[in-house]
């Protein structure tokens, strides 16, 4: 097999990164934009020792699950990798991804149920992060997503997975005359690096964050912020984030609100949350609500007035949502802004039994002496450290509720926990990121 070789293959399954998997004489080939049960002619684009990558030249027999994407930019935009697959089958493929991870990594003999679908499969994404660039000749501002596996920017004027108001705000920023230049990541020149928008399902309000290649608030930045604020009634605040570093990190920790409010409010279940520019909150609030309800109901049905530890808590969304069925909740989060907003949300909801600690989870675990009826772990994609898992076992009397957005690191951590004598009772997937290979899971682990 060589580069540019053409083959006809059957697509057998979907990889955990969203590629179709085919085999030729037992050799694995990962095929872009392929659906299981497709018969396709492919061209080898990359050859490695143990596998190859390929692109489709011709769809000979389409899978019965292949559909026309509802977004005309799907093939060139990297945001919705599997939008060409019908939604019900997307859910089954995601279930298989979780099942494979649990079988092969965690060695669990556990049947994974169907994912809980997203309540909305269009206009569900309520946090938007567009990188910004500028054309060399016309100096036109571009904003959108990168083509898959490149840093070539696709100028997105309409995105059906986000609220329409976001398209309008971004298009205004692209076209308004305010002496702002787009960022060039090769030369590290230009003003505007990213446009970040947080949109509230509950109120319709939008918080706009302009990520600037600077550590100073220039008058032209203020002018752009005020023009956005004045143009849109649904924009409740415009902030500038200062990020002059040569980095792929989108936002620094330094943000200044230029006009309006630095937060928006969102509702999950019956609780109100304040969300700021630098705080983590789920991009699909309606799907997140399903997860919070699932965790709250599990605690209510299996415990009576428990004391619960909420680790990697963010703005203490889990802690606040489960507080009604707990005698006490202890939330731990290392981001200071998140903790501040958690305190405000606790006050807004008149909650008296949630205790906030602004500290790294592993450090808090190591010195904490109290034991908890249940421990909620909601770590970032990289999962938990071994130290955190060991301390969670030590601090937990009964049940660890592990919320994960990465099946592979969840499986790794469950393997460690089972080797330490824990038992995985159940894993329930939830579809948070429609039309992508990503899938959220809630694992119930008994100590």
Would you say 391 and 366 are in contact if contact means Cβ atoms under 8 Å apart? Answer: yes
Domains contained in the chain, CATH given: 1-66 (2.40.50.140), 92-119+288-446 (3.40.50.150), 127-268 (2.40.50.1070)
* Residue 138: partners with Cβ closer than 8 Å, 6 or more residues away: none
The secondary structure element, H or E, covering residue 270 is: none
Pairing of strands 307-311, 372-377: parallel
SS3 176: coil
Q: Tens-of-pLDDT digits for all 447 residues of the chain?
A: 899 999 999 999 999 889 999 999 999 999 999 999 999 999 999 999 999 999 999 999 999 999 999 999 998 888 999 999 999 999 999 999 999 999 999 999 999 999 999 999 999 999 999 999 999 888 999 999 998 878 889 999 999 999 999 999 999 999 999 999 999 999 999 999 999 999 999 999 999 999 999 999 999 999 999 999 999 999 999 999 999 999 999 999 999 999 999 999 999 999 999 999 988 889 999 999 999 999 999 999 999 999 999 999 999 999 999 999 999 999 999 989 899 999 999 999 999 999 999 999 888 998 999 999 999 999 999 999 999 999 999 999 999 999 999 999 999 999 999 999 999 999 999 999 999 999 999 999 999
> Which pair of tokens denotes residue 134?
């500028």
The secondary structure element, H or E, covering residue 5 is: none
**DSSP annotation string for 138-167:** T--EEEEEEPTTS-PEEE-S--TTS-HHHH
Class of residue 49 by CB neighbours under 10 A (exposed 0-12, middle 13-18, buried 19+): exposed
C-alpha distances in angstroms, 186 versus 189, 248, 252? 8, 12, 19
**DSSP annotation string for 296-327:** HHHHHHH-SS-EEEEES-TTTHHHHHHGGG-S
Nearest to 258 by CA among 282, 297, 280, 229: 229
Would you say 29 and 52 are in contact if contact means Cβ atoms under 8 Å apart? Answer: yes
Question: Residue 49 and residue 183: Cα distance in Å, rounded?
Answer: 38
Would you say 102 and 108 are in contact if contact means Cβ atoms under 8 Å apart? Answer: yes
SS3 359: coil
Catalytic center residues: 405
Q: How many CB atoms lie under 10 A from the CB of residue 344?
A: 17
């Amino acid at each position: 097999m060589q580069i540019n070789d053409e083959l006809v293959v059957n697509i057998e399954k979907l990889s955990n990164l969203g590629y179709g998997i085919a085999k030729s004489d037992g050799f694995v080939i990962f095929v872009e934009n392929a659906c299981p049960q497709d018969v396709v002619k492919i061209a080898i684009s990359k050859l490695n020792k143990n596998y190859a990558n390929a692109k489709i030249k011709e769809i000979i027999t389409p899978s019965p699950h292949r559909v026309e994407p509802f977004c005309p930019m799907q093939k060139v935009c990297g945001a919705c990798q599997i939008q060409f697959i019908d939604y019900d089958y997307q859910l089954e493929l995601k279930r298989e991804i979780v099942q494979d991870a649990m079988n092969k990594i965690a060695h669990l003999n556990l049947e994974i149920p169907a994912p809980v679908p997203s309540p909305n499969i269009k206009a569900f994404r309520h946090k938007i992060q567009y990188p910004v660039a500028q054309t060399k000749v016309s100096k036109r501002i571009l904003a959108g997503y990168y083509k898959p596996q490149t840093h070539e920017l696709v100028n997105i004027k309409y995105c059906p997975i986000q609220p329409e108001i976001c398209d309008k705000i971004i298009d205004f920023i692209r076209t308004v005359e305010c002496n702002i230049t787009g960022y060039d990541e090769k030369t590290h020149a230009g003003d505007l690096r990213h446009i970040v928008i947080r949109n509230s399902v509950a109120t319709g309000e939008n918080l706009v964050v302009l990520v600037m290649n600077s550590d100073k608030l220039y008058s032209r930045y203020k002018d752009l912020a005020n023009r956005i604020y004045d143009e849109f009634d649904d924009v409740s605040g415009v902030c500038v984030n200062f990020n002059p570093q040569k980095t792929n990190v989108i936002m620094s920790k330094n943000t200044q609100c230029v006009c309006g409010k630095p937060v928006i409010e969102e509702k999950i279940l019956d609780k109100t949350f304040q969300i700021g520019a630098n705080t983590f909150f789920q991009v699909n609030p309606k799907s997140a609500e399903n997860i919070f309800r699932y965790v709250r109901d599990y605690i209510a049905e299996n415990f009576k007035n428990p004391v619960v530890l909420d680790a990697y808590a963010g703005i203490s969304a889990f802690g606040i949502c489960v507080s009604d069925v707990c005698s006490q909740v202890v939330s731990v989060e290392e981001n200071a802004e998140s903790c501040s907003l958690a305190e405000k949300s606790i006050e807004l909801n008149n909650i008296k039994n949630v205790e906030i600690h602004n500290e790294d989870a592993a450090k808090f675990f190591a010195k904490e002496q109290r034991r908890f009826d249940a421990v909620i772990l909601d770590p970032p994609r990289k999962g938990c450290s071994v130290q955190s898992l060991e301390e969670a076992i030590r601090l937990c009397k009964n049940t660890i509720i592990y919320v994960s957005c990465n099946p592979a690191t969840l499986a790794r951590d469950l393997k460690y926990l089972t080797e330490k004598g824990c038992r995985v009772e159940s894993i329930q997937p939830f579809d948070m990121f429609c039309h992508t290979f990503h899938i959220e899971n809630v694992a119930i682990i008994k100590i």
